[in-house]
């Protein structure tokens, strides 16, 4: 039986979604604006031969109704399209769950105040439950910025750095050595319990190391504590049918570890790609290998670094032939994203955008999948590929790519 591989290029939007104005994101286009900044600042064009060959540039041109300043390659082998999000948010769980066939049709709970984001009552509950009297930050912040600003005070006082963003999230940064990694995990597990009933999507442990603000660095020991999806995902259905779901990166955390048999953590694009290739080489049939390439989002999108983002895309593109070479004849590769994070957009939050929907196998021709009405088309296609019961949402495009 077939195997499927999903490479989830975290935050790689390709044009404003039809409802982007409701999110203040009308005009956002992660890929287009990266390409434009790259041309202006590097005096050269983004060069993505493998992604272009799959049809990425065609998909972005159709989604954004604009031509991109990139090196031109013919779409030669791969299915390409673009999908809009049905879910009510533009956050990580919503995008991931929807692509697995379960859109989020309810409203998340949010901490909307930019400062004093957590109420005195909530802080008192957390202090009582954790036994730690106090916290630092209590605001909306960029993770790297808040560590640089408060990391030294955190190490002196032992108080965790607690912050949030426009997403439904409670984040906790702490030093791996002075605070302790296991203590950070325990603190976050307790906060997750305290937040029960508030519909907060994730509590995220954000460990870091270093001696002072000049060299603080986040580590790969991040851990997400997510609530469960509201219905069985295609991962659950494959697991229940006797198949194997392999998580690479933070996928297992996003799905609250449901339906996943094998979990591999890795830090950085190369390590994530290496782990994915190793699983492709070893995995049995009837298997889904699902990889989140988080660095596009956390290192370049949120940090508003279009040049770094562009260079990372070129490096990712250069490694795709290794994925192709490892695939068997009946394997199917899907490339997509969970939301946008336009590095030229005001602020540092996600942007409401179309995402690419690319598919590849060794015998595929160039196929235009057009506009997809929901990310759930990917989950429905995977269900179709593995002959699983249909999902409640999405339309399979398997017939178009086989």
Q: pLDDT tens per residue, the chain (402 residues)? A: 689 999 999 999 999 999 999 999 999 999 999 999 999 999 999 999 999 999 999 999 999 988 999 999 999 999 999 999 999 999 999 999 999 999 999 999 999 999 999 999 999 999 999 999 999 999 999 888 999 999 999 999 999 999 999 889 999 999 999 999 999 999 999 999 999 999 999 999 999 999 999 999 999 899 999 999 999 999 999 999 999 999 999 999 999 999 999 999 998 999 999 999 999 999 999 999 999 999 999 999 999 999 999 999 999 999 999 999 999 999 999 999 999 999 999 988 999 999 999 999 999 999 999 999 999 999 999 999 999 999 999 999 999 998
Residues 185 and 261 placed together within one structural domain of the fold: no
Q: How many domains does the chain have?
A: 2
288/290 Cα distance (integer angstroms): 6
Identify whether residues 266 and 236 lie together within a single domain: yes
Q: Taking Cα atoms as reference points, which of 83, 31, 75 lies closest to residue 54?
A: 75
* Residues 333, 5 contacting (CB under 8 angstroms): yes
Please report the pLDDT score of residue 1 as a whole number: 62
Q: What is the CATH number of the domain that holds 79?
A: 3.40.720.10
Burial class (CB in 10 A: 0-12, 13-18, 19+), 326: middle
Tokens of 390: 């249909």
Q: Please report whether residue 114 resides in a domain.
A: no
Domain end among 191, 225, 259: 225
Specify whether 133 is located in the same domain as 98.
Answer: no
- Report yes or no on 111 lying in a domain: no
In a shared domain, residues 215 and 236: no
CATH number of the domain at 202, please: 3.30.70.1250
Specify whether 175 is located in the same domain as 78.
no
What whole-number distance in Å separates Cα of residue 150 and Cα of residue 134?
14
**Same domain? 320 vs 378:** yes
pTM for this predicted structure: 0.91
Decide: residue 316, CB within 10 A, 0-12 exposed, 13-18 middle, 19+ buried.
buried
- Residue 115 in domain: no
Claim to verify: residue 251 and residue 390 sit in the same structural domain = yes
Residue ending a domain, among 194, 225, 256, is 225
307 shares its domain with 183: no
Question: What whole-number distance in Å separates Cα of residue 243 and Cα of residue 102?
Answer: 19
Q: Which of 149, 202, 147 is nearest to 175 (CA)?
A: 147
Residue 21: phi and psi, rounded to 5, are -65, -25
Residue-number span of the structural domain to which 278 is assigned = 3-106+230-401
Q: Is position 68 within any domain?
A: yes
């Amino acid at each position: 039986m077939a195997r499927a591989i999903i490479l989830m290029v975290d935050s790689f939007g390709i044009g404003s979604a039809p409802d982007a104005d409701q999110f203040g994101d009308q005009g956002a286009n992660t890929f287009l604006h990266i390409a434009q900044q790259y041309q202006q600042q590097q005096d050269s064009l983004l060069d993505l031969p493998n992604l272009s060959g799959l049809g990425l540039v065609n998909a972005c041109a159709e989604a954004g109704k604009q031509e991109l300043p990139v090196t031109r390659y013919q779409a030669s082998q791969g299915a390409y399209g673009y999908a809009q999000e049905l879910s009510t948010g533009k956050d990580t769980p919503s995008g991931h769950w929807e692509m697995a066939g379960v859109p989020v049709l309810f409203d998340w709970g949010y901490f909307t105040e930019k400062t004093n984001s957590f109420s005195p009552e909530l802080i008192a509950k957390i202090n009582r439950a954790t036994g730690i009297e106090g916290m630092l930050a209590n605001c909306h912040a960029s993770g790297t910025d808040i560590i640089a600003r408060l990391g030294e005070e955190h190490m002196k006082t032992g108080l965790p750095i607690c912050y949030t963003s426009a997403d439904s999230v409670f984040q906790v940064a702490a030093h791996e050595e002075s605070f302790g990694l296991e203590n950070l995990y325990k603190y976050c597990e307790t906060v997750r319990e305290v937040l029960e009933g508030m519909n907060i999507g994730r509590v995220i442990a954000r460990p870091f190391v270093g001696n002072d603000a000049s060299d603080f660095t986040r580590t790969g020991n991040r851990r997400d504590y997510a609530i469960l999806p509201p219905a069985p995902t295609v991962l659950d259905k494959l697991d229940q049918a006797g198949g194997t779901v392999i998580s690479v990166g933070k996928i297992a955390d996003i799905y609250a570890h449901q339906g996943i048999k094998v979990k591999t953590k890795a830090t950085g694009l190369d390590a994530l790609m290496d782990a994915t290739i190793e699983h492709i080489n070893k995995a049995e049939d009837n298997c889904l290998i699902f990889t989140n390439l988080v660095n596009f989002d956390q290192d370049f999108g949120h940090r508003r670094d279009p040049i770094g983002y562009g260079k990372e895309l070129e490096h990712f593109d250069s490694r795709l032939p290794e994925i192709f070479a490892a695939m068997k004849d009946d394997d199917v590769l899907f490339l997509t994203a969970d939301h946008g994070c336009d590095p030229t957009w005001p602020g540092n939050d996600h942007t409401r955008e179309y995402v690419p929907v690319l598919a590849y196998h060794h015998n595929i021709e160039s196929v235009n999948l057009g506009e997809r009405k929901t990310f759930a088309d990917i989950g429905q296609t995977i269900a179709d590929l593995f002959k699983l019961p249909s999902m409640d949402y999405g339309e399979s495009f398997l017939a178009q790519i086989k």
